[in-house]
């Protein structure tokens, strides 16, 4: 069995998870605690990948990240190399595609925190940022962990969006889901079966972990 696609999938999932935890936390904070015009529009935009076919998300990312797209043009001008069909390109695609999975559990966890705890922190002299770091984050660990696990699983299983943005370049963008698809197309069922079999226990273990987290959260409450 080819191990490189599986390694790439795990690498992609790790990169997406780390990036999204950092990116999603402030966004979830804004959505949980702020009131501003257009908040529901922003929230719907973030959740759009949930409602669209992956190929549609992939198509728009292809356009934006391509040599004629805004992001792709800026990137090429700055680095001299393209963004499409690279590991970084599929990592960005995976981050955009998994963003709602990171935001929702985190936002729910932030919203559950009693507002008076935050007010108590303000009265005790903490700035909003310090309150976020010292009060909100430590009291939302289960929600943040749930976000991380969901993003990891989702990134491991991404297919359409990655294929559109990254194609299938061995060692660069050919992740496990794409390798399984190609092996199946080539009627190499043994290879496809073995690779699928390795993904099942990984995803199952992470889902068990989520259930456990949810149980501990409900017991804690």
Which stretches of the chain bind another protein, using CB under 8 A? 114, 116-117, 119-127, 135, 138-139
Chain-centroid distance of CA 204 in Å reads 18
**∠ CA 98-99-105, rounded to 5°:** 100
CB of 116 to another protein, least distance (A): 5
Q: How far is CA 28 from CA 43, 121, 143, 200, 209, in A?
A: 10, 19, 11, 30, 22
Question: Under a CB-based contact definition with an 8 Å cutoff, are residues 9 and 178 in contact?
Answer: no
CB of 197 to another protein, least distance (A): 40
Distance (Å, whole) CA 122 – CA 56: 44
Question: Under a CB-based contact definition with an 8 Å cutoff, are residues 113 and 139 in contact?
Answer: yes
Of 80 and 138, the one with the shorter C-beta distance to another protein is 138
CB of 213 to another protein, least distance (A): 16
Looking at residue 36, what DSSP letter applies? -
CB of 141 to another protein, least distance (A): 8
Of 63 and 130, the one with the shorter C-beta distance to another protein is 130
Of 1 and 126, the one with the shorter C-beta distance to another protein is 126
Of 122 and 189, the one with the shorter C-beta distance to another protein is 122
């Amino acid at each position: 069995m080819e191990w490189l696609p599986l390694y790439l999938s795990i690498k992609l999932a790790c990169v997406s998870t780390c990036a999204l935890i950092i990116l999603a936390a402030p966004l979830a904070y804004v959505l949980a605690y702020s009131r501003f015009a257009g908040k529901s529009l922003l929230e719907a935009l973030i959740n759009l990948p949930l409602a669209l076919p992956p190929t549609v998300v992939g198509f728009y990312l292809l356009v934006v990240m391509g040599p004629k797209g805004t992001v792709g043009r800026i990137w090429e001008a700055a680095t001299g190399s393209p963004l499409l069909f690279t590991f970084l390109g599929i990592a960005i695609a995976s981050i955009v595609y998994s963003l709602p999975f990171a935001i929702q559990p985190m936002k729910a966890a932030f919203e559950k925190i009693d507002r008076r705890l935050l007010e108590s922190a303000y009265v005790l002299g903490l700035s909003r940022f310090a309150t976020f770091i010292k009060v909100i984050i430590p009291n939302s660990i289960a929600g943040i962990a749930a976000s991380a696990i969901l993003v990891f699983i989702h990134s491991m299983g991404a297919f359409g969006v990655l294929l559109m943005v990254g194609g299938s370049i061995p060692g660069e963008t050919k992740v496990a889901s794409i390798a399984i698809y190609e092996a199946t197309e080539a009627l190499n069922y043994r290879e496809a079966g073995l690779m699928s079999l390795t993904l099942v226990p990984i995803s199952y273990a992470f889902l068990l972990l989520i259930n456990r987290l949810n149980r501990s959260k409900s017991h804690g409450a």
